[in-house]
Amino acid sequence: MKFAERVYGVTKQIPRGKVSTYKAVADAIGTKGYRAVGQALHTNPHAPKVPCHRVVASDGSIGGFALGTKKKILMLKREGVNIHNKNIDLQKYFVRLKKEKGREVP
């Protein structure tokens, strides 16, 4: 399994109307390469299956997007995620991503 595939697997779990952060994704797959996560999403071959636009920066900013940040914002707002001044309320829309492989130690 490639690194990118793992990123997609985790990102794919983000429900509509919610968002997550690169840090959360990286932590979910067990890596500290936050930047690598972003790169994987940039080269995301899976279209709507992997909602890469639902992944934002940990500071609440939009972050980046292949088609342009504005487009990203528009898509998010369209899904119900309210955005003000290029910022998202992580406290409200942030969702915890569960690790794709690691179990919760029963």
Partner DNA sequence: CCGATGACGCGCC
Partner DNA sequence: GGGCGCGCCATCG
Can you give the binding site for DNA, defined by CB under 7 A? 2-4, 21-23, 31-44, 52-53, 55, 57-59, 63-66, 72
Which candidate, 8, 20, 91, places its Cα nearest to that of 56? 20
Q: Which is nearer to DNA, 52 or 83 (CB)?
A: 52
| Least Cβ distance, residue 18 to DNA (angstroms) | 15
Instruction: Report how far apart, in Å, the C-alpha atoms of 95 and of each of 5, 19, 63, 66, 70 are.
Output: 20, 6, 17, 23, 22
Q: Which of 4, 37, 52, 76 is catalytic?
A: 52
9's enclosing H/E stretch is helix 3-11
Q: Which is nearer to DNA, 59 or 80 (CB)?
A: 59
52 is an active site residue: yes
Which candidate, 94, 97, 77, places its Cα nearest to that of 86? 77
Q: Which is nearer to DNA, 32 or 98 (CB)?
A: 32
| Least Cβ distance, residue 106 to DNA (angstroms) | 27
Annotated catalytic residues are: 52
